[in-house]
Amino acid sequence: MKTGLQFLLFPKFVMVMVLLATIPLIVIGIRLINVNRETLEVNIFDHQRYVATTVARRVDDYLTSLETRLAIVIGAQQSNLAWEDRQAVLKSFLDTSSDIVNISLVHPEGTDYLKVYNPDLEKNPSFVDHRGNPVYNNAQKQKKRQISSVIYQGHDPRLELAYPLLRGWCIYVTINLTNLWTEIQSSPAGVGKTVFAYVVDYNGKLIAHPNQQKQEQGLSLAKLPIIQELLTRAGVGTKEYIDDTGV
């Protein structure tokens, strides 16, 4: 009887010892899985922030460089240079970059007075009447630089800028953004290329995206919570969200 009791208790004792040995391992394993998951999420967020920051810096550097060169043009046009010299200054600016479609000195009445253009980007050049152009009109009204939304000429994304000068004159520039957009589309991706960057304007309109079709459609992403937060709060950050495909 005594021996039988010991025999019956022994398997239970072994089971208890096995459980006591394995439960801590299970707990440690779960904790390690959670730690690894959290570490992976942090690494993914850091990479996403790096990609976004890299693209934002590239766009900012591009526009800063453009405006630095334009400042020289604006200063020259407001000086007492002869008209031939003014046109030479416009030509020199055009030669600084293959992205510049054209640059004009606009008369106070709203029409191009002097104009130079890139023949590779503008096939049918002409003097333009800007009086119906809201970019030009806002620049003249507010007396400060105005930038258009991104517009498409065929498949080429373009940007127009107006700079008011003294006595009603204005500098009007058209830029081809194809090279810049190509850089954005080839921005560094994550594992499996699941990370990509896209650019929206100040209204939440999609203006640069790896998907050419979405980019040219100019879809509005203003209703996405992450875009709403971006437009109302400046800075760099990371946030999870569900896109229009439900992902």
- Whole-model pTM over 0.85: no
Q: What is the pLDDT of residues 192-225, one digit of tens each?
A: 455 667 788 878 888 877 777 777 777 788 788 7
- C-alpha to C-alpha distance for 185 and 194, rounded to whole angstroms: 13
Q: What is the pLDDT of residue 213?
A: 78
pLDDT at 237: 61
Does residue 128 or residue 43 have the better pLDDT?
128
Q: How does pLDDT run across 11-27, given as a tens digit for each residue?
A: 544 545 544 455 555 55
CB–CB of 105/114 below 8 Å?
Answer: yes
pLDDT for position 85: 92
| CB hemisphere CA count around 215 (13 angstroms) | 22
The share of the chain scoring above pLDDT 90, in percent, equals: 32
The yes-or-no verdict on residue 123 having pLDDT over 90 is no
Give pLDDT, residue 223.
Answer: 83
Residue 91 has pLDDT above 90, yes or no: yes
Q: Which two tokens stand for residue 148?
A: 């258009």
